[in-house]
Amino acid sequence: MCGRYVVAYDPQTLVSGFSVTRVVPFPKRWNVAPQSPVPVVRETPEGERVVELMRWGLVPHWARDPAIGHKLNNARAEGLFDKPSFRQAARRRRCLLPASGFYEWQATPAGKQPWYVTPAAPGELFAMAGLFEAWRPSEDADWLLSCCIVTTAANALMAPIHDRMPVMLERAQWDAWLDRRRQDPAEIAPLLAPSAPETMRAWPVSKAVNRAGNDGPALIEPSARTD
């Protein structure tokens, strides 16, 4: 799973890094929690690649109550095209969630130890595979854009920390993932494999990240393990 992550870059980074034509302003954050607005890269029906803010926690278009989004922060790659909450978005509404890194919690005898996971190459960004939806309670109401992160089995680096991790897409895979014309699961499913462990690095951090209200670059500083 992925329950917190870091957005420590400015909008212009996405313009150059993801070749987007339109981007909305957003603040740097070192402890992004579910239900927060997050920058998302998607492709419009006209083929334009843009960055929009969406609420983290997917609200399917058929939902009666948007509170369902509290339970849909992540979508497991296994069965992605079969589950009612995700199957339509997996075919037609895929996106990328750029991240400087993410947190995961390791079970230890002393309690859960948070780790920070970031790209191995300094300055690079993760491109986490995501799904998005547009929902509104009535025809005259504003649209709510929401998203979730697709997860897969842990790779060799992540396995000692947690059994799940976000799907990290390489640059060469972005076009295929964002392409709205690709709707065949047989074409999309191969993109959902765990990324190579050498593409990332990880270290333990302070338990201050446990509190969603805490923020700032100090949260990603290495910390002594408590086990």
Residue 146's DSSP bridge partners are: 55, 133
Of 140, 81, 115, 86, the C-alpha closest to 210 is 115
Q: How is residue 79 written in tokens?
A: 């069965």
104 carries an active-site annotation: yes
Amino acid (one-letter) located at 172:
A
8 A C-beta contact, residue 126 and residue 99: yes
Taking a C-beta distance cutoff of 8 angstroms, is the pair 147, 131 a contact? yes
Catalytic member of 52, 104, 147, 148: 104
- Residue 9: count of CB within 10 angstroms of its CB: 17
Residue length of the chain: 227
Closest CA to 72 of 40, 123, 203, 80: 80
Is 2 one of the catalytic residues?
yes
Class of residue 43 by CB neighbours under 10 A (exposed 0-12, middle 13-18, buried 19+): buried
Q: How far apart are CA 77 and CA 167, in angstroms?
A: 8
Amino acid letter at 184?
D
Residues with catalytic annotation? 2, 104
